[in-house]
């Protein structure tokens, strides 16, 4: 059964490119334009995604608020989150301590696919140590 991914990205071009790339890799992909849409979908779904790929800077509900809301709901906290951001300082601004991975945009797509594969196959979400330098 295909692993289920949520993409939460307001940029239409990036969102469509990620959808196409991940569908080609065999993932079941659902995409949202902002955190509010994704939040509403998470709360309405019985089956949770295996991974959330999250932009930080979005209208309505940004990635910071989204992760804050997510951290308050125990059934949602096991979902790993891969944060994508063009802001190099974003990693230091993240208040949700359970981000699985952070990648700076633009990212190498081959490396991105490796990271996605690693995160969807982990038995439980790793904690990101924000004090360590990012490899990406």
Beta pairing partners, 53 = 7, 82
Query: What Cα–Cα distance (Å) separates residue 66 from each residue in 25, 95, 108, 109, 123?
Result: 27, 11, 25, 24, 23
pTM of the model: 0.85
Q: What is the pLDDT of residues 32-46, one digit of tens each?
A: 999 999 999 998 988
In whole angstroms, what is the distance from residue 83 CA to residue 60 CA?
A: 18
Q: What is the pLDDT of residues 74-123, one digit of tens each?
A: 888 889 999 998 876 666 666 555 678 889 889 999 999 999 999 998 76
Question: Confidence class of residue 129 from pLDDT cuts 50, 70 and 90?
Answer: very low
Phi-psi group of 26: left, alpha or beta (phi > 0 → left; psi -120 to 50 → alpha; rest → beta): left
Q: Which domains does the chain have, with CATH numbers?
A: 4-121 (3.40.50.2300)
**Contact indicator for 47, 75 with CB cutoff of 8 Å:** no
């Amino acid at each position: 059964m295909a692993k289920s991914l949520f993409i939460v990205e307001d940029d239409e071009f990036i969102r469509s490119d990620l959808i196409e790339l991940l569908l080609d890799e065999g993932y079941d992909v659902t995409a949202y334009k902002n955190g509010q849409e994704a939040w509403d979908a998470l709360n309405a779904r019985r089956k949770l995604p295996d991974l959330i790929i999250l932009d930080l800077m979005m209208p309505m509900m940004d990635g910071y608020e989204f992760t804050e809301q997510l951290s308050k709901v125990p059934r949602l906290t096991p979902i790993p989150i891969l944060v994508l951001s063009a802001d190099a300082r974003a990693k230091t601004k993240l208040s949700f301590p359970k981000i699985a991975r952070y990648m700076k945009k633009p990212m190498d797509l081959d490396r991105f696919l490796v990271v996605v594969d690693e995160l969807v196959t982990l038995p439980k979400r790793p904690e990101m140590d924000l004090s360590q330098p990012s490899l990406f």
